[in-house]
Structure 1
Amino acid sequence: MTAPTTLSTERADLLETLRAHRGFLRFTVRGLTDEQATRRTTASQLTLAGLVKHVAGTEATWADFAVRGPEAFATATPEAWAREWVLEPGETLADVLARYEQVAARTDELVRTIDLDLSHPLPAAPWFEPGAVRSARRTFLHVVAETAQHAGHADILRESLDGQRTMG
């Protein structure tokens, strides 16, 4: 990784977009107790705390992929994925939010410094085209999309919980 002397418009745009969508997600859990944040409010299994935890885990894995390639997915098992969606015993919403802050700081530093053209092959998986490659740039765009999608889910869950909305 080489640190650019000035932040390019592209990097600034990526950072601002990440900041905005992370902010929407964090805003949906403001003022909630752990009990509220782990309550199912729709027909799905999703909870607000679970969404934040999943987004943090997903961002951490994809940021690691941008640096190390497919080895970043070595611990991605169905069991690990299932644990991403729930608070473990003793884990709190505050813990998940603190981890998310750490993950975001690492990702932001990578967005500032990594060669955005650095590419790695995607791991073999039914949802990836065989032989597909993803650049760091596209990896960070994927993180933006994941965060935005789940912020929308969280907004629905919060509105179902107590009528609060992120926007509007």
Structure 2
Amino acid sequence: MTTTEQTLTGEHAELLEALGKHRFFLRYTVQGLTDEQAALTPTASQLCLGGLIKHVTRAEQGWYDFIQHGPDAHSGTDIEGHLNSFRMLPGETLEAVLADYEAVSRRTDELLTSGVDLNQSRPLPVAPWFPPNSSWSIRRVLMHIIAETAQHAGHADIIRETIDGQKSMG
């Protein structure tokens, strides 16, 4: 933990702590797995553990870009990229997927520890799932990243338990 993180207080610290908790659970689900196991889709869905981490990485990167550069920088409307983010593609390794997630996580953490203005707002990208002409504050974006990470950590826990019985909790 850096000195900045140790002295961070208030809402920024709480958001960082919540995000860190759910990231831990997501990463924990893949400990000790091979690339082949990380690519398995053992449930009724087409989700795999490596793909879930790729998806969360892509989503967090898109929202980070949105915070930094506005709605045109968000990659959320790229449907093929979105679909591929749920899969381990040929040649991808769990180690590389985790390294990408770590790099993106570090950038988001640095943004939070910088004391970014959580009230700053940006218009959302044009997409069918966003109401027209709406905006989100940086706070709302970070809450969305936390929620998405937590949701997919839960999915990952179910998939891991199906693969080999290991549970993240309980």
TM-score with structure 2 length normalisation? 0.92
Does 1:155 find its partner at 2:170? Answer: no
Q: What are the equivalent positions in structure 2 for 1:1-168 lying under 5 Å apart?
A: 7-73=8-74, 76-113=77-114, 114-168=116-170
Q: Per the alignment, in what secondary structure is the counterpart of residue 116 of structure 1?
A: coil
Structure 1, residues 48-71: CA drift from partner, whole Å, max 9, x if none? 000001001101111111111101
Rounded to whole Å, the distance in 1 between the matches of 2:163 and 2:129 is 33
Q: Any unmatched runs of 5+ in structure 2?
A: none
- Counterpart secondary structure, 2:132: coil
Query: What CA distance in whole angstroms lies between the structure 2 residues aligned with 1:19 and 1:96?
Result: 17
CA distance in 1, matches of 2:125, 2:77: 11
Q: Sort the Cα spacing of 1:116 and 1:134 in 2 relative to 1 into closer, same or farther, 3 A.
A: same
Q: What is the CA–CA distance in structure 2 between the aligned matches of 1:75 and 1:124, rounded to whole Å? A: 10
Contact map agreement 2:77 2:127 (CA 8 A) in 1: no
Paired with 1:75 and 1:151, the residues of 2 have a C-alpha distance of 20
Deviation at 1:75, TM superposition (A): 7.2
Provide the aligned length of Structure 1 versus Structure 2. Answer: 164
CA drift of 1:76 comes to 3.6
Distance 1:120 1:67 in 2: 10
**Considering only aligned residues, what root-mean-square deviation do their CA atoms show, in Å?**
1.4
Cα distance, 1:10–1:75 mapped onto 2, change above 3 Å: closer
Q: For 1:98, give the aligned amino acid.
A: A
Q: Which moved more, 1:82-91 or 1:59-68?
A: 82-91
2:33 partner SS: coil
CA contact (8 A) 2:26 2:53 kept: yes
Q: Shift in Å at residue 85 of structure 1? A: 1.3
SS of the residue 1:41 aligns to: coil
Q: Is the 8 A contact 2:76 2:82 kept in 1?
A: no
Q: Which moved more, 1:125-134 or 1:95-104?
A: 125-134
- Percentage of pairs with the same residue: 55
Q: Which has the larger displacement, 15-24 or 73-82?
A: 73-82
Q: What letter corresponds to residue 71 of structure 1 in structure 2? A: D
| Cα distance in 2, alignment partners of residues 158 and 13 from structure 1 | 28
